[in-house]
Amino acid sequence: MNRIAKITFQDFIQAFPEAELPIDLTEDTQSIFSKENKPLSKQMIEEFIVPIDDSIDEFTEYIPCFRIPRTKDFYAIIFWKAGLMNYQYFIVTFDKKGNLIEKKMVAGTQVKGDALLRTVTTIKKDWTIASVVGVVSANDDLAYDPATSLDSILELTQDGKISNLT
């Protein structure tokens, strides 16, 4: 009789290798992560992603990207989620027992109405998360207006919370 081994929270966390910071998250970096990291198993997705993600369908894909280094009392992971017309990077923090602390979208490409929102992010050594959002008309990819750019800075705190600095 074949028995499927139980996936532990530690197995899940180990699917996210620690990264050297700073690191940029752009439209193209997910291809690097998909080549270098093993995909999350269906069991890992069902056990650890589904409970924290309320917008999943049969076409949704996940790629484990990396784990933020030197976290003491929590884990901070980044994963890439591909959905219909939405490609997003999320930072998720968990306590050491696997309980969710916080989850935020930090980069990606989203279609909203007739606009295309592109967010590029840098996660720095001091755990600040600097993002710039550009808006492009979905009808004209060349119609980017720099005046519509928005920037924000988040901070990952020592307790695993993600707070706005701007």
Ranges of the chain with pLDDT below 50: none
Q: Is 5 helix (H, G, I), strand (E, B) or coil?
A: coil
- pLDDT of 54 reads 81
Question: H/E element holding 58?
Answer: none
- pLDDT of 52 reads 94
| Inter-residue contact 7 to 71 (CB < 8 Å) | no
pLDDT per residue as tens digits for the range 78-120: 999 998 888 999 999 999 999 999 999 999 998 888 888 899 9
| Inter-residue contact 106 to 121 (CB < 8 Å) | yes
Largest CA distance in the chain: 63
Could you give the CA distance from residue 88 to residue 156 in angstroms, rounded to a whole number? 18
Radius of gyration of the chain (CA): 17
- pLDDT of 100 reads 97
